[in-house]
Structure 1
Amino acid sequence: MRPFTLLSSLLLALPLTLASSAAHWSAIAAKSKDGIIKLDSQSYEELLALDRDYSVSILLTALPPQYKCQPCHVFDPAFNSVAASWRKVPKQVREQHFFAKLDFENGQEVYQQLGLTSAPTLQFHPPLAGPNRNSNKLSVITYELNRHGLTAPPLHAWQSGLTPQPFSLHKPFNPIPFIVIPLGLITVAASLYSMRQLLVPLVQSRIVWGTGSMILILTFTSGYMWNKIKGAPYVAAGPGGSVSWIANGYSNQLGLESQVVGGIYGLLAFSIVALTVFVPAQSSPVKQRIGVYLWLAMLVVVFSLLIKLFRIKNGGYPFGLLF
């Protein structure tokens, strides 16, 4: 009876040995479309056997719609992309690391065991046996989603530093841009050609080019590019909880301030245009005289406001006009 008992014990232990072998999991990963092993509570324990000589990256997620896990759906394509890139490495290297996924629906016991109350969670489990068992001192390394985000590039950089061999992030060929872009260019060219009788006078118009040039000049001289580069806030908190739209000092600026300065410069430019173009075009001397008075008054008042703004920004500014 004793030999029979020993034989029975060996036969019972054989499935566990096969389940914890790299070849077993490599075959399962090869059958998967994306190279990711789909787990449940039992296979999770089998994959993380204490005698494993391979490493594993396991994504604990909750993709079914009833769980309403939006981050899970955002992070899932990034994880799939990195796992698919790992499939490009040679087979002998690929069998040293596996990508797996455990959905909450299939592994609630594991979630309870780990004390997880949110998803997604990505954990790297280093090998516990074999030549690579001492490469990582930590038993589990968790990917910091709040720090790295939900996109593929930072995930790949983190993962590539832990796998037995660094690997490149593979981006599948997308033929859509090569189809859509030429068709779009052809459509735009055909539309422009059919509208040539309307567009040619506009392109040749001095008014259109002058207006566009003035808008660009006012945009850049008002400090718009400085705001975009520096990330300046639109307004700031002033004393006593009030809202301030003027930043002190010439080296600081707020978004609303740049808009006001651009509007002032625009009024000044339009006043000059009116005095040099619109007023002389009037046939009546009385209208010309009235136009000169009005636009000259506008020029002086608006320029006084601009100087006043400079003085508010810097109290040491010595000049002033009306205000």
Structure 2
Amino acid sequence: MRLLKTLVASAFALLAVAENTVDEKASMEKRFVSFHDGIQLAAAPITLNDDAFKKLTAAPRDFTVAVLLTAQGARFGCQLCREFQPEWELTARNWAKGDKAGEARLLFATLDFAEGRDTFITLGLQTAPVLLLYPPTHGPHAVTSRDPKRFDFNSGPPAAEQVHAWIVSYLPGRPHPTFQRPINYLRWASAITALAGVATLAYTAGPYLLPIIQNRQVWATGTMIAILLFISGHMFNHIRKVPYVSSDGKGGVTYIAPGFQNQYGLETQIVATLYGIMSFCTIALVTRVPRIANRRTQTLTALAIVAVMFVTNSFILRIFRIKNSGYPFSTPPFM
């Protein structure tokens, strides 16, 4: 008799566990379907508040949740949030279009700080945006660690392709849609219009522009300007973002940066001007002076040009000595 009671009690316990399991699965499925239908209807991530966030990420959960915690309001000044939002919506829209049946068991959602301040505080978040991926806690795809995965925004706003690949990396063994960026018809139309405009301009203005393009003097001038820009450190300034000038610590301004590994913007312009003067003098000596008919005028002109070159070269060497006092060369008048 006692054995019979034990068996009956065990049977009722197993039945209760089975009913709870069925109810639990039904609850998870109902929750997934309701949110999934919302994503399919809007073709965009679900917009959450604090309560909806708790409901969506609560355990037990047999589906994955990708949540973007952002701060879109102008008062927050989150430029990265505004730049990334279109890519995030594109990722969710692409997934919703490619996985209409929800076979991947993945949901996309967005929680703005204005609607989810308590959630930000609970998670200890002090910056935005933050992209979290909550893995399933139950079912065939459940993982041992329930902690959400966090996307790294340190390299700036990522493209939708990067976010898609990151999410897929945490969905092993699950079907997932391939990412396809939609065709930007406006960009194509703009490119075709611009190409047609260039072709029309080339056809109508070609007879007038061709002699200019084929002119050796034009190419020589452009080449000289490019050479002067590059040898004076123009690219260095753009790469290093150097200041234009600097303070000397005594209320004055320093135009020349000490050391051969540093320079200022104005310093580059000074050096380019000096090199330009020397280039002009060299060209004048080679091309202009020989054409002067009067021998006396020719000699005086040549001497004047050489004197300008000598003084300019002395100034350049003086700049080298300012940058490095150990530089051994100098010529008068700038010793």
Quick check: TM above 0.5? yes
Contact 2:48 2:112 in 1 (8 A): yes
Is contact 1:20–1:46 with CA below 8 Å preserved after alignment? no
Residue number in structure 1 paired with 2:282? 272
What is the aligned counterpart of 2:224 among 201, 214, 220? 214
Q: Is the 8 A contact 1:86 1:167 kept in 2?
A: yes
Partners of 1:107 and 1:312 lie apart in 2 by 59
2:134 maps to 1:129: no
Aligned residues: 308
What TM-score results when the alignment is normalised by the length of structure 2? 0.73
**Which residue of structure 2 lines up, in the alignment, with residue 172 of structure 1?**
182
Contact kept, 8 Å, 2:28 with 2:62, in 1: the verdict is no
Structure 2 counterpart of 1:3:
none
Partner residue of 2:310 out of 280, 293, 300: 300
Counterpart of 2:156? 149
Aligned AA for 1:245?
A: I
Query: In structure 2, what is the equivalent of residue 159 of structure 1?
Result: 167
Structure 1 residue 197, shift from structure 2 partner? 4.7
**Displacement after TM superposition at 1:209 (Å):** 1.9
Aligned-pair RMSD on alpha carbons? 3.9
Q: Distance in 2 between matches of 1:104 and 1:228?
A: 37
**Residues 168-177 or 108-117, more deviating:** 108-117
In 2, the alpha carbon distance for the partners of 1:272 and 1:19 equals 84
Are 1:248 and 2:256 an aligned pair? no
Q: Structure 1 residue 255: deviation in Å?
A: 4.7
- AA of the residue aligned to 2:220: G
Conserved? CA contact 1:232–1:255, under 8 Å: no
CA distance in 1, matches of 2:133, 2:225: 55
Q: Secondary structure of 2:46's match?
A: strand
- Structure 1 pair 225/91, CA: closer, same or farther in 2 (3 Å)? same
Distance 2:247 2:114 in 1: 52
The one-letter amino acid of 2:60's match is: D
3-state DSSP of counterpart to 2:141? coil
Gaps of 5+ in 1: 1-9
Does 1:185 pair with 2:189? Answer: no
Cα displacement (A) at 1:127: 1.5
Distance 1:262 1:67, change over 3 A: closer
Partner of 1:7: none
Percent identity over paired residues: 29
- What corresponds to 1:55 in structure 2? 64
Specify whether residues 270 and 142 from structure 1 end up closer, same or farther in structure 2 by C-alpha distance, changes over 3 A only. same
- Which of 268, 273, 276 is 1:263 aligned to? 273
Query: Residue type matched to 1:59 in 2?
Result: L
> Deviations 1:133-191 (Å, cap 9, x if unpaired)?
325x252344454x243332554454343344577543111123333223212212322
